[in-house]
Amino acid sequence: MTTTALSRRRHGDAPDTDGDFRRMRRLPPGAERDLLRQQVIFAWLPVAERLALRFRNKGESTDDLTQVAALALVKAVDRYDPGLGHAFASFAIPTIVGELKRHFRDHLWTLHVPRRVQEVRARTRAARDALEQELIGRSPTVKDICERTGLSEEDVRLGLEASASCDPLSLDAPSHTSEDRMLSDTLGADDRAIELVINRESLRPLLAELPERERQILYLRFFAELTQSQIGEILGVSQMHVSRTLTRLCAELRRKLAAPA
């Protein structure tokens, strides 16, 4: 049985395009060759989609995986040389799978990390997953993974820690300090007072230039948060006087703040 026939036997969606590839090789560049190329790509799309589905449930949408697989199929069609004697399936399938793995390696990291760290993580994770199936009654240790991969203990620990960059914790996950708290409970909040720091610092020298009584009126109104009537009672003046003073002072301070330095 030939390699091509064996491939079609294993995968019912693998079409017979051997003749099309030989014909494409003989045709000169042009509309006829382009049309035949499109037909071959369309015929092999179900295979690309099947391969893409192997990687579902790994944090990437099916549509994106299908697109990556389809682009890899196009590359395989353009690079395949039937004159070498190998079936297209034996060339296209590794090409598509390789592009899918490269997509996960290069694009699905929460943080950008060096390629070496990505490779160490992949080897470490593969060894850990295999050992979890083989070992009975215990989880694999760093030493177990070192023996399986040939990596140093430092590299294995680096690979295990790097997994957190690819699979980030949910904000609904328990906090490291207390199981009664979620990670979202440890996040800080915006301090609206920070936005006022520049204005306050700019106002400081302007307020220092005001007479004591006017500074007192501003303090009682905007810091002690007293009403105009309460301020008037404290200072022995009318509420109207306090109102006019506040209006004048605010306008004067705004003008000085807006003036060019």
The label of the residue with tokens 């440890």 reads 186
pLDDT reported for residue 171: 66
| Domains located in the chain, CATH noted | 3-107 (1.10.1740.10), 109-168 (1.10.10), 192-258 (1.10.10.10)
Cα separation, 246 vs 75, in Å, equals: 75
pLDDT reported for residue 130: 84
pLDDT reported for residue 10: 46
Cα separation, 162 vs 142, in Å, equals: 14
Cα separation, 98 vs 101, in Å, equals: 5
Backbone angles phi, psi at 182, to 5 degrees: -95, 160
pTM over 0.75: no
Cα separation, 174 vs 161, in Å, equals: 18
CB 24 within 8 A of CB 81: no
Cα separation, 251 vs 246, in Å, equals: 8
Per-10-residue mean pLDDT for the chain, 261 residues long? 41 76 88 91 91 78 87 90 85 88 68 72 84 82 91 87 63 63 70 72 87 91 90 92 93 85 61
pLDDT reported for residue 243: 94
3-state secondary structure the chain: CCHHHHHHHHCCCCCCCHHHHHHHHHCCCCHHHHHHHHHHHHHHHHHHHHHHHCCCCCCCCHHHHHHHHHHHHHHHHHHCCHHHCCCHHHHHHHHHHHHHHHHHHHHCCCCCCCHHHHHHHHHHHHHHHHHHHHCCCCCCCHHHHHHHHCCCHHHHHHHHHHHHHHCCCCCCCECCCCCCCEHHHHCCCCCHHHHHHHHHHHHHHHHHCCCHHHHHHHHHHHCCCCCHHHHHHHHCCCHHHHHHHHHHHHHHHHHHHHCCC
pLDDT reported for residue 108: 58
Reported as a single tens digit per residue, the pLDDT across 134-147 is 887 788 899 999 99
pLDDT reported for residue 162: 73
pLDDT reported for residue 175: 60
Cα separation, 76 vs 102, in Å, equals: 15
pLDDT reported for residue 81: 86
